[in-house]
């Protein structure tokens, strides 16, 4: 059995397997907004992901992507099964495997596929730049400057993809993740102490029901994820990731 980035500190492959399942189940339930008893089919599906070596982070990103797309489409019907996300996870895993090869080792088919995605990625980044500019206009004080700087950085990334030089989307994604990380860190640090503590407590209360179902490391990761989402909601920020293409 593979070890798809299992939580540290687990003493055996079986324990890591169980932690992998619990973490995915808890993240899915949080995105869904309510608890759900997963079906035997879903259990088998997660086992298949584990056996195939799908990293936990890849599964989490794919689930985020599914729910983000549904929100963008205005869908109100609940996702009743992990199986609904199967194709998104499989596609994300294929992209992850390709990215591990490195830009110099891309096959011609992969290179052609990536080149075809570049115009879409550039348009996506321009849309995210515009959304950040709107958020900056609505943000107070120094927060507005921080969001505006991020908009400029995202615009520069888009311009790079629109240029004549060959683009490597995996490198663009890494840069984009860095922009979002810095922005959220700066916005969180810039909140007034009382506002920051109130928001952290709100996040803790939302995640607390999952504590007993998660490893300590997974609980902290889930809490950190909720904190980032709360900051995006507070400042009306778009998600910055090409995985949402």
191 vs 130: CA distance, rounded Å: 24
Contact 138, 236 (CB under 8 A): yes
Parse the chain into domains and list their residue ranges.
1-101, 110-245
pLDDT of residue 105: 44
Residue 111: is it exposed, middle or buried by C-beta count within 10 angstroms (0-12/13-18/19+)? middle
Positions of E strands within 43-122: none
Most confident of 23-32, 119-128, 208-217: 119-128
Percent of the chain with pLDDT over 90: 29
Provide the whole-model pTM.
Answer: 0.61
At 15, the pLDDT band (50, 70, 90 cuts) reads: very low
Q: Which helix (H) or strand (E) holds 17?
A: helix 13-32
Least-confidence region, from 54-63, 98-107, 191-200:
98-107
CB within 8 Å of 217: residues ≥ 6 apart = 7, 8, 9
Least-confidence region, from 67-71, 115-119, 171-175:
115-119
CB within 8 Å of 237: residues ≥ 6 apart = 131, 132, 135, 147, 183, 184, 231
pLDDT of residue 6: 41
Q: Answer whether residue 234 shows pLDDT above 90.
A: yes
**Each residue of 181-223: pLDDT tens digit?**
999 999 999 999 999 999 999 988 887 876 776 667 667 777 8
153 vs 186: CA distance, rounded Å: 15
Contact 81, 42 (CB under 8 A): yes
């Amino acid at each position: 059995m593979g070890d798809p980035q299992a939580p540290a500190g687990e003493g055996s492959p079986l324990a890591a397997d169980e932690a992998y399942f619990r973490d995915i189940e808890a993240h899915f339930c949080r995105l869904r907004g309510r608890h759900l008893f997963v079906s035997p089919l879903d259990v088998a599906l997660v086992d298949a992901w584990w056996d195939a070596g799908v990293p936990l982070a890849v599964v989490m990103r794919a689930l985020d992507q599914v729910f983000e797309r549904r929100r963008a489409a205005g869908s109100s019907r609940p996702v009743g099964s992990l199986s609904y996300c199967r194709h998104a996870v499989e596609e994300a895993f294929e992209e992850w495997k390709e990215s591990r090869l490195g830009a110099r080792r891309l096959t011609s088919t992969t290179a052609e596929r990536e080149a075809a995605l570049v115009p879409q990625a550039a348009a996506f980044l321009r849309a995210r730049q515009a959304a950040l500019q709107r958020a900056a206009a609505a943000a107070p004080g120094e927060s507005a400057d921080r969001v505006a700087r991020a908009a400029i950085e995202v615009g520069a990334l888009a311009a790079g993809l629109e240029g004549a030089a060959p683009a490597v989307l995996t490198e663009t994604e890494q840069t984009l993740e860095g922009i979002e990380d810095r922005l959220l860190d700066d916005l969180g640090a810039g909140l007034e102490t009382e506002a920051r503590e109130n928001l952290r407590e709100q996040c803790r209360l939302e995640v607390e029901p999952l504590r007993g179902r998660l490893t300590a490391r997974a609980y902290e990761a889930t809490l950190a994820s909720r904190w980032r989402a709360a900051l995006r909601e507070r400042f009306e920020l778009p998600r910055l990731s090409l995985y949402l293409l």
